[in-house]
Structure 1
């Protein structure tokens, strides 16, 4: 098991993991957040949220400037060798994706509504977020979130057409996410780790935490995976076989998050 003094990196989902599913509170994880800060262990947020949502949250959590993965892995931000912040996009940008979606909608009469089409008030009603947060959630750069309102047959056709446009669909909690093909939380984390090393040039030992099906690629890519008990009706299905390096928590949200780190990381 890794030790607190090892070159660790914590990679975490937000909603339902580090943040409580209902209240968005991270208070039960406060003890561990303080320990990570004291040991200079990077906390890499890996989320469906936008960069505009992640950056102020990093400040609040006490990890400003840390690398992060946003929009389900379609966007990664790291420091480059010169110490400058670099954003990596996996493929088409937001404007190109929205243009493509409008074209397909006109051509095949697909019935769906994207973030670009909702008003902020409508999105606030759907997500339960305050209007100020909705504005940040709409500042998308590399993926579009949408509500599907059509038949299963049309959905299959939609997926096929997206494939031809080098795009794919990922299921989130409330929305389907249209993203560049070959992107995702796992691919984004692999890219990040290829472009980051510790100050001493060692590779990071990664501990990943998530509660939803879209976290599975990230949890398959880390050294130690914490599957947090969640509310999704879809299970988190991992492909990895090293069961000793996977822990399923008994508790939900940030309490389960702390439980997972207690299980894997030795503080002796």
Structure 2
């Protein structure tokens, strides 16, 4: 049995996926996204980046109806959520605000806290040095709304202890390509499910297929939850793997691999499996 979707929702990580891991260039994915037929597919960035970063990176490529920032901690709709009658509804926080996270962080004992170096502990210049971003982009990366990226300088055992302490405060640690991220009880897969649920309820007559692409450990749940999951190789980071039949690994890293595999999926949307949302 084959499945021909009416619309494809493409949930994609940015760094190391749509954007080159080293240069942050979106070429050739930017052109591919700009030329997508909006009646056929919608690209929904799901990233650890902030709202300010996403606005600067992608709004010139294609209009974004919905996008997810800070590892699933904030869901945005610049013109109001497509399924909502109220066009003023522009943001949904499924987790905690940045202020709430920093407040709970202070519950960590000083010895553990000393190993935690978060963006709030760094200047924009220090963030630029750690990430390779220019200073203007580093300021945008520092503008957190619902998460706190951090570097850990302690042992793995201490990180496990820190995870337990933060878990007792309702927080979770998500590992990305470059940093760990302290967030509320939410993730990229949760954000994807929330968006798909609302799309389905507002368009019950449309057959939707979901595709999820990413390169880091914080992407894996989202990748495995989609109808079609794609692991983008990450030569310089933590490799992720999946034994799910719905998940494939792109042949190339970064935006070149992204475009190649998306062309294959959109040309033959029924070739992977018969799952559908």
Q: Name the TM-score, length of structure 1 as normaliser.
A: 0.88
Work out which of the residue numbers 158, 162, 183 in structure 2 matches 1:158. Answer: 162
Secondary structure class of the residue paired with 1:256: helix
Secondary structure class of the residue paired with 1:247: strand
User: What residue in structure 1 maps to residue 274 of structure 2?
Assistant: none
Q: CA deviation at 1:222?
A: 1.2
User: What residue in structure 2 maps to residue 111 of structure 1?
Assistant: 115
> Is 1:90 aligned to 2:89, yes or no?
no
User: What residue in structure 2 maps to residue 254 of structure 1?
Assistant: 255
Sort the Cα spacing of 1:109 and 1:70 in 2 relative to 1 into closer, same or farther, 3 A.
closer
Secondary structure class of the residue paired with 2:85: coil
> Is 1:142 aligned to 2:140, yes or no?
no
User: What residue in structure 1 maps to residue 29 of structure 2?
Assistant: 29
Secondary structure class of the residue paired with 1:36: coil
Q: CA deviation at 1:120?
A: 1.1
Q: How far apart in 2 are the matches of 1:123 and 1:190?
A: 32
How do 1:124-139 residues align onto structure 2 when only pairs under 5 Å count? 124-139=128-143
Secondary structure class of the residue paired with 1:170: strand
Quick check: 2:17–2:258 contact (8 Å CA) kept in 1? yes
> Is 1:68 aligned to 2:67, yes or no?
yes
Sort the Cα spacing of 1:112 and 1:200 in 2 relative to 1 into closer, same or farther, 3 A.
closer
RMSD value, Cα: 2.4
Residue ranges of structure 2 left out of the alignment (5+ in a row): 270-277
Residue ranges of structure 1 left out of the alignment (5+ in a row): none
Q: CA deviation at 1:29?
A: 2.1
User: What residue in structure 2 maps to residue 187 of structure 1?
Assistant: 190
Deviations 1:67-91 (A, max 9, x none): 1111011111241332334322123
Q: How far apart in 1 are the matches of 2:22 and 2:249?
A: 20
- The count of corresponding residues between Structure 1 and Structure 2 is 262
Sort the Cα spacing of 1:97 and 1:30 in 2 relative to 1 into closer, same or farther, 3 A.
closer
Q: How far apart in 1 are the matches of 2:10 and 2:139?
A: 28
Q: How far apart in 2 are the matches of 1:235 and 1:49?
A: 20
Q: CA deviation at 1:106?
A: 3.6
Q: CA deviation at 1:206?
A: 1.1
Deviations 1:59-118 (A, max 9, x none): 122124x21111011111241332334322123210111122133244855421111110
Sort the Cα spacing of 1:135 and 1:147 in 2 relative to 1 into closer, same or farther, 3 A.
same
Deviations 1:19-56 (A, max 9, x none): 11122112222442133145462210011101121123
Sort the Cα spacing of 1:195 and 1:206 in 2 relative to 1 into closer, same or farther, 3 A.
same
Q: How far apart in 1 are the matches of 2:249 and 2:113?
A: 43
Secondary structure class of the residue paired with 1:84: coil
Secondary structure class of the residue paired with 2:120: coil
Quick check: 1:170–1:178 contact (8 Å CA) kept in 2? yes
Q: How far apart in 2 are the matches of 1:30 and 1:98?
A: 35
> Is 1:19 aligned to 2:23, yes or no?
no
User: What residue in structure 1 maps to residue 58 of structure 2?
Assistant: 58
Q: How far apart in 2 are the matches of 1:141 and 1:105?
A: 24
User: What residue in structure 2 maps to residue 49 of structure 1?
Assistant: 49
Deviations 1:198-240 (A, max 9, x none): 975325211111122211111112111122222244322336x
